[in-house]
Amino acid sequence: MNYSQDQMSNFFFVITGGPGAGKTTLLEELQKRLLACIPEIAREIIQEQVAAQGDALPWKNKELYLQMMFDRSVNSYLSVNNNGSFVFFDRGIPDSLTYAEIIGFEKTEKMSEAVRQYRYNQNVFFLSPWRDIYKTDDERKQSWEEAVAASELNAEIYRRYNYTLIDVPKDTPGKRADFILTWIGKLIPGQTGAGSLK
């Protein structure tokens, strides 16, 4: 069956929130269940730039890092060749706008237009800050206070672009995955099999 872009966007689910809230481990759990998952672009860029001794890093050239994050997020969205299965994104294009506001960068019309044009399912799964599991590493250098502020701004950005945030409970990755799949099952009738729709 062929789907229009609007129909396909209903199968695209974003998992977002502040730094260190457990998104990556949740995506890994969904992937274990043979569901399609798109990794976080920002972390990929940091790993590549560190390895190449590049400047597009949040602690070096913030604006270049933002531009790469935005471009790759759009390309990642457009590259998904979906046949009617769920796809889970570790952050979405609106997260680039969150970072733009954090660094005080005036977002361009191109960025705003991309967020309006390349839509995901209206229901976005949001992971709130979780102090018990929060930790910094070579790629995540924000303090706890910065992580909380980023989380609040991120929620505001998604709401600004007419997304509905679904709060994912603080629980094990398995139970979080169960929560999401149960929610989707109620949201989209006609689910058949693991993550597919007819």
Encode pLDDT of 51-64 as tens digits. Answer: 888 887 878 888 98
Q: 5-187 architecture in CATH?
A: 3-Layer(aba) Sandwich (3.40)
- What are the boundaries of each domain within the chain? 5-187
Encode pLDDT of 150-194 as tens digits. Answer: 899 999 999 999 999 999 999 999 999 999 999 998 877 655 344
Dig out the tokens for 165 from the structure: 């945030």
CA distances from 78 to 112, 119, 125 (A): 16, 11, 21
CA pair distance 175, 166, nearest whole angstrom: 15
- Give the chain's residues under pLDDT 70: 1-8, 82-83, 136-141, 189-198
pLDDT, residue 85, reads 83
pLDDT, residue 186, reads 85
